[in-house]
Structure 1
Amino acid sequence: MPDAPTAPDLPLDELAEALARGEPLALLDVREADEFEAAHVPGARSLPLSQLESAASRDALAPLAPLAPLALVADLDPGARVVTFCASGRRAARARDALSRLGLSGARAAASGMLEWLARGLPAAGAAVPHPDDARRYARQLRLPEVGPRGQARLARARVAIVGVGGLGCPAALYLAAAGVGHLTLVDPDLVSLDNLHRQVLFRTDDVGTPKVSAARAALLARSPRLTVEGRALPLGRENAIALLGGHDLLVDATDNYAARAEVNRASCELEVPAVFGAVARFEGQVTTRLPGRGPCYVCLHPSPPGDGMAPTCAEEGVLGVVPGVIGLLQAHEALKVLLGYGDPLVGTLLHFDARTSRFRALGFDRAPGCAACGAA
């Protein structure tokens, strides 16, 4: 007997309209249980694809095993349409085929899935359903499996402290806010000056003479009104670092001197909080990440302050405006990797960028025995 023809995919608009009209319809969500718990269509039934395909396998030893998944739809109105549903549509198509092998012909697969459903602001339930405005704002990001509703909710709960609101801190703050990080604490004692504007992209000419943390806060809230921003117009030092940086999930060092970086590093070690470090000068920049319990810290790399004239600041040596933009964005990305748990953070790696050649070099370094900051053995 030839296989029955496959039913065409069901457009998401048609699915939403059918549910709104109350048509008899069995919506089988074939994502894994944790995905279903995070966000699902109200009234959908959870039937993970892994279970369904196992039941439909030709190698199933128990003769009644293939019938078990069908018990989920046994109580439906005989006239109900069966629709499989997933995150983007691929698993739904496989589930439709598995149901067909189990003898349930006529099932249709939703052409797209939960990510598009959320992006359109359609009704949803679950532990990590974003605010409707957020679902649209972060629609392109929510489509990524590495983010999804659960990751976006994690970002919304995250508290990140950025020390230094200059050439590095401005792009880092801008992109972390744009990604949906829920709380930013900005630490910087300085006022905006005219010579900041070629690289410090949060500021306008009208901001000259105002505290950087205040001007940055206003700029960030104008773009992301659901963000919480706390500004601390204070220099970071040994006497206040722990108090200022405690209670955060991640620290971003965007300072321009060794003493401040060492204090961010000390706070990272004592508070056991991840930290991302960046530095720039002229046409070059570098970035590295510290994770508690994994790899070296900043002081392992630089155990003592540089000698006189060995590490001039941007004010002394100059910097091309785009270079801190590149490094600040890399710092923001490192922060997102740590907060969301994807990729390989630059732990024990110093990533160096040379704008003159547009080349990157990754330089490895190890924990320093007896490090005064992280206590490496």
Structure 2
Amino acid sequence: MHESVDSLEIEPGMALEHQRRGALLLDVREDLERAAGYARGSIGLPRAAIEARIASLAPALDREILAICASGGRSLLAAKTLRELGYAHARSVRGGHARWQREGLPMEQGELDVDAAERYARHLVLPEVGVAGQRKILHARVVLVGAGGLGAPIALYLAAAGVGTLTLIDDDVVDRSNLQRQIIHTDARVGVPKVESARAMLNALNPGVRVESVRERLCGANVEALLRGHDVVVDGADNFPARYLLSAASLRLGLPLVYGAVHRFSGQISVFDPRRADSPCYRCLFPQPPSAAEAPNCSEAGVLGVMPGIVGLLQANEVLKLILGIGEPLVGRLLCHDALAGTFRELRLPRDPDCPGCGANARFDGYEDIAALCAM
């Protein structure tokens, strides 16, 4: 004989009273749903895992179990499953969390708020990320030097991912010639400082991200102050003085540096992480700055518009890997992309024992000397 729905359900207020007298309140929603908040004192156990795990939570079959879900549907099915497993006092909380909250019954704040639980839902279902990983992203502080070609995709995807604080450093203004590749800017913002243009776009994309804009040119006098207090440094610069300053400062501050560069139809990406003994630094790759003839900038040599997008997205990926502590960062490896051939090639980049930046005999004489070296 089938039991009626009424016999399997209990009103939320009554469920609270039974919980206080020892009943087990079992939240049968998925973990990502609980991340937005849950009934106080409830234990999370997704409905699909009940048969495998309920015995460890309730060894005694005479334990009263009250299942609760979002609106009462899944918990009713859960109660039926529990009855079939021998838990004769299993019932479903009528109306679920929706009604529990409407009646003002006690709740616990989840690890993520409602907006975050919905916004980052595709992250939360990844075992490598989940709630714990998303919280790491939400608390991360990333500094990005350059709000142009590389900085545009890097900033957009890091903001979309929920990086808690994103500091943008750039002293330039938006020019119409930027718009072919610097997708964070718009025609209406030509003449506006790039950091302000970028901040407007990022705030529109994800209001939960704190965007700090610094309209300054990186130099020896400010580099350490601007980088200090962050977790990851991202090189989106378009000039060698900035890159050599970033390399020196990241070494002195012990901060990982995510490097990227583009030229015409090619690009390269690597990670320099001074926290690892085996990691090279930027000067292991370029001990001395090349001449202007050897490395012309984009305005002189040109660049295919999509190139900064491809390289910038790969840099953003490396940043997220570092924050989450997953995968294998591009430390000791230089990833090279040829857009015309449609190929990626990985080159080994070992640490140079004679490197003027991180070698055993490396000598730091101040940031002014580094800037002077690049000007020679």
Could you state the TM-score of these two structures normalised by the residue count of structure 1?
0.74
- Residue of structure 2 in register with 1:70 after alignment: 58
- Residue of structure 2 in register with 1:59 after alignment: none
Unaligned runs of 5+ in 1: 1-14, 57-65, 109-122
Q: How far apart are 1:101 and its partner, in Å?
A: 12
> Structure 1 residues 235, 44: CA separation in 2 closer, same or farther (over 3 Å shift)?
same
- Residue of structure 1 in register with 2:287 after alignment: 303
- Residue of structure 1 in register with 2:231 after alignment: 249
Cα-to-partner distance string for 1:14-38 (whole Å, 9 max, x where unaligned):
x9x978576578455799xx99997
Do the aligned partners of 1:254 and 1:277 also contact (CA within 8 Å) in 2?
yes
Letter matched to residue 139 of structure 1: A
Q: How far apart are 1:74 and its partner, in Å?
A: 5.2
Q: How far apart are 1:196 and its partner, in Å?
A: 0.3
Confirm or deny that 1:143 pairs with 2:125. yes
Do the aligned partners of 2:38 and 2:108 also contact (CA within 8 Å) in 1?
yes
- Residue of structure 2 in register with 1:337 after alignment: 321
Cα-to-partner distance string for 1:69-119 (whole Å, 9 max, x where unaligned):
53477542xxx45689xxxx9xxx9xx99x9999669989xxxxxxxxxxx
Alpha-carbon separation, structure 1, partners of 2:87 and 2:63: 14
Do the aligned partners of 1:83 and 1:107 also contact (CA within 8 Å) in 2?
no
Do the aligned partners of 1:39 and 1:124 also contact (CA within 8 Å) in 2?
no
Letter matched to residue 320 of structure 2: L
1:205 aligned residue (176, 187, 212): 187
> Structure 1 residues 252, 19: CA separation in 2 closer, same or farther (over 3 Å shift)?
farther
Alpha-carbon separation, structure 1, partners of 2:347 and 2:90: 54
Do the aligned partners of 2:28 and 2:67 also contact (CA within 8 Å) in 1?
no
Q: How far apart are 1:172 and its partner, in Å?
A: 0.3
Do the aligned partners of 2:63 and 2:87 also contact (CA within 8 Å) in 1?
no
Alpha-carbon separation, structure 2, partners of 1:186 and 1:225: 16
| Greater alpha carbon shift after TM alignment, 146-155 vs 281-290 | 146-155
Q: How far apart are 1:370 and its partner, in Å?
A: 3.7
3-state SS of 1:279 partner? strand
3-state SS of 1:209 partner? coil
Do the aligned partners of 2:61 and 2:86 also contact (CA within 8 Å) in 1?
no
> Structure 1 residues 44, 301: CA separation in 2 closer, same or farther (over 3 Å shift)?
same
3-state SS of 2:296 partner? coil
> Structure 1 residues 293, 191: CA separation in 2 closer, same or farther (over 3 Å shift)?
same
Confirm or deny that 1:288 pairs with 2:270. yes
3-state SS of 1:315 partner? helix
Alpha-carbon separation, structure 1, partners of 2:290 and 2:11: 66
Q: How far apart are 1:187 and its partner, in Å?
A: 0.6
3-state SS of 1:135 partner? helix
Letter matched to residue 149 of structure 1: V
Q: How far apart are 1:155 and its partner, in Å?
A: 1.4
Cα-to-partner distance string for 1:244-295 (whole Å, 9 max, x where unaligned):
1111111110011222111111121111111101000111111111223321
Confirm or deny that 1:362 pairs with 2:360. no
3-state SS of 1:201 partner? coil
- Residue of structure 2 in register with 1:233 after alignment: 215
Q: How does 1:1-377 map to 2 (within 5 A)?
A: 26-28=24-26, 41-42=38-39, 43-45=41-43, 69-71=57-59, 75-76=63-64, 80=65, 125=108, 129-294=111-276, 295-375=279-359
3-state SS of 1:162 partner? strand
Letter matched to residue 137 of structure 1: R
Letter matched to residue 45 of structure 1: I
Do the aligned partners of 1:157 and 1:181 also contact (CA within 8 Å) in 2?
yes
Do the aligned partners of 1:368 and 1:376 also contact (CA within 8 Å) in 2?
no
Could you state the TM-score of these two structures normalised by the residue count of structure 2?
0.74
Considering only aligned residues, what root-mean-square deviation do their CA atoms show, in Å?
A: 4.1
| Greater alpha carbon shift after TM alignment, 363-372 vs 281-290 | 363-372
3-state SS of 1:218 partner? helix
Unaligned runs of 5+ in 2: 1-7, 92-105, 362-376
- Residue of structure 1 in register with 2:95 after alignment: none
Letter matched to residue 70 of structure 1: A
| Greater alpha carbon shift after TM alignment, 230-239 vs 159-168 | 230-239
3-state SS of 1:367 partner? coil
**Identity of paired residues, percent?**
48
3-state SS of 1:152 partner? helix
Do the aligned partners of 2:36 and 2:113 also contact (CA within 8 Å) in 1?
no
Q: How far apart are 1:124 and its partner, in Å?
A: 7.0
